Amino acid sequence: MGPPGARRAQIGPERTLRGVSAAPGVACGRAVVLDRAGAHEAKTIPPADRSAELDRARHALEVVAEEMEQIALRLRDAGRHPEADIVETGALMAGDPGLAARVETLVMKSGRPAADALREAAEENAMELAQLGDPFLAERADDVRSLGRRAGARASGLMPGVVSGVLVASTLGPADVAELAINAGGMALAGGGVTAHAAIVARSLGVPMVVGLGPEVLEVEDGEEVVLDGDAGVIFRHPERGRIDAARAEAKRRRIAREQAVANRLQPAQTKDGHRLRILANAASAAEVQEALQQGAEGIGLLRTELLFLDSQAWPPSALQASFLSPILAPLAGRVATVRLLDFGGDKTPPFLRGATGRGIELLLEAPDALRAQLAALVDAGRNVELRILVPMVTSPEQIRAVRDALAQVLDGRSAPQVGAMIETPDAAHRADAIAKECDFLSLGTNDLTQLVLGLDREHSKSAPVTDLRVLRLIDATVRAGKAAGIPVDVCGEAASDPEAMPILVGLGVDELSVAAARVGEVRQSIRELDFKASREAARKGLLDQAADAAGQSG
Ligand code: PEP
Ligand code: MG
């Protein structure tokens, strides 16, 4: 890693490198390049010096294990237990005898310097993981690489510095992100995935991150000015003046908006004409819950439990689930906490479910012990909150009845929490009336619903298309079903915070919006600027106009 600002920024036309959005936000600043392909010079250690070199490598691994344990402790002190567990896994990897054996061979037999041996041994381990053909293990490969890089840096005498600016690296592990996030404005990775633990930690800590930028991003010069757009998933090299100004203005706007959100957290989320909404937050970590509450969230509308167990080799035991959930739920005493049952499947398939075809509740109902184990954990960890259990990927009312039956078996005299269905499949929306009759609340998952109705790619279906007539009709039907059953309807997909879609959803009559923790204040402010009556009329007119257009086109 070279010092930031070591080289002058090249003058040249602006270039856009495209990756995938892993954590939202905008960052503008000088690049700090953590790795560069082929940067290490080939050097051979003479045989007489090799055992001292091996000692250095072993010591570096011990130092790194200790550092990671310290980071994990700090995260645990801050109530960030899931992130701490992730980082602790890194400390365990540092003690892996297989890694140690590889390092020994590289140093003693091939005469590789300690730093290179550590990186190369980690790379070999990572390649093995990546070649197993399991996308989740492949992402753990990044954690091993990060460990090798960290140990290599220690063997060369480099200690972690205070890094500010935009970090550029091939990959980063969750421990790197937790450590570097304190000062880094943003992170740009050649590899990585949006479900990688590094991305989960970045999102929960509010650091913009773009992944999957490819090796080209490693050609960025240390000290070169870049603009990173975590929402769009791009990084701009040699950004034009206007781009830099706009990025700085946007970063400033977000900072000020957050400060205002915190200052206004006690003001109600009520439209100008007095219509009250409940604004809740989506979360998967204690850090997000804390941020949401600071911005005035009334509780949690979607806690995605599956994100805590994406590495699992088996259905997670009840006690383990309760221990993960307790610190996340602790700040929510007396408030609503909507915890979703494990929504495994699709892009959230842990190793033990590879090859399974179902998704969400379908998988859980095939594993009744696992369902009961999770319900018991929720009832146990949720005893101080107003617990609502949310059932993912529902397609029929029978599934809700089955969840209630399983719940009755674990209550053990305690009062039953509310149970609600995610309406995120066309089947569920078509049967919303029947499903609503079994539920205490409904929650519209507009991310999956939009994708499934319109046949779009999930990443591109998170905003405007929700206003497509085919989707709006299903949302409208769901809201009506909720009203007929006398239960609240929530929206927990990204559309709830989309500036175009949100007023329409409010106009259609949804009662609650659950949005990313970092957006709670912004959405609450937008509600205060809305006129409910006008939104209702606009939503109805929008539906009718689109229907007339569609009829005109087909006629
Ligand atoms: C949704 O589908 O809108 C939703 C909130 O669930 P997830 O994004 O976790 O699939
Ligand atoms: Mg979904």
pLDDT digits over 390-400, tens only?
999 999 999 99
Beta-sheet pairing, 26-33 with 165-169: parallel
pLDDT per residue as tens digits for the range 276-318: 999 999 988 777 888 899 999 999 999 999 877 876 788 999 9
Cα of 525 to ligand 1 centre, how many Å?
24
- Please tell me if the CB atom of residue 447 comes closer than 6 angstroms to any atom of ligand 1: yes
Q: HEC string of 162-202?
A: CCCEEEEECCCCHHHHHHHCCCEEEEEECCCCCCCHHHHHH
pLDDT per residue as tens digits for the range 112-157: 989 889 988 998 888 887 777 666 666 677 788 888 888 887 776 5
Annotated catalytic residue within 28, 81, 197, 439: 197
Task: Please write down the long-range contacts of 453-462, taking CB distance under 8 Å and 24 or more positions apart.
Answer: 453/426, 458/347, 459/20, 459/21, 462/493, 462/494, 462/495, 462/498
Residue 44: its pLDDT value, please?
Answer: 85
- d(CA 166, CA 185) in angstroms, rounded, equals 5
- Quote the tokens at residue 106: 């590289």
The SS3 of residue 512 is: strand
Residue 242: its pLDDT value, please?
Answer: 94
Distances (CA, A) of 540 to 427, 446, 476, 543, 545: 23, 19, 10, 5, 9
Closest CA to 227 of 215, 238, 211, 214: 238
User: Average pLDDT in the 33-37 region?
Assistant: 65
Residue 194: its pLDDT value, please?
Answer: 63
pLDDT per residue as tens digits for the range 499-521: 899 999 999 999 999 998 888 99
Q: In this predicted model, which residue has the larger pLDDT, 407 or 454?
A: 407
pLDDT tier at 32, thresholds 50, 70, 90:
confident
pLDDT of 41 strictly over 60:
no
- Quote the tokens at residue 394: 């529902």
pLDDT tier at 219, thresholds 50, 70, 90:
very high
Domains, the chain: 3-251 (1.10.274.10), 267-550 (3.20.20.60)
Q: What percentage of the chain exceeds 70 in pLDDT?
A: 89
User: Average pLDDT in the 209-232 region?
Assistant: 92
Residue 528: its pLDDT value, please?
Answer: 96
Q: Which atom of ligand 1 is nearest to the CA of 304?
A: 9
- d(CA 368, CA 389) in angstroms, rounded, equals 16
- d(CA 455, CA 493) in angstroms, rounded, equals 17
pLDDT of 164 strictly over 50:
yes
- Spell out the alpha helix ranges (H) of 131-278: 135-155, 174-180, 197-205, 241-263
Q: In this predicted model, which residue has the larger pLDDT, 408 or 36?
A: 408
Residue ID of nearest Cα to ligand 1 atom 9: 304
- Please tell me if the CB atom of residue 448 comes closer than 6 angstroms to any atom of ligand 1: yes
- Please tell me if the CB atom of residue 498 comes closer than 6 angstroms to any atom of ligand 1: no
Tally: H helices and E strands in the chain: 20, 16
- d(CA 340, CA 493) in angstroms, rounded, equals 13
Residue 464: its pLDDT value, please?
Answer: 46
User: Average pLDDT in the 314-328 region?
Assistant: 88
pLDDT per residue as tens digits for the range 437-493: 999 999 999 989 998 998 876 544 334 478 899 999 999 999 999 999 999 999 998
- Quote the tokens at residue 11: 């003058």
Average pLDDT of every residue of the chain? 86
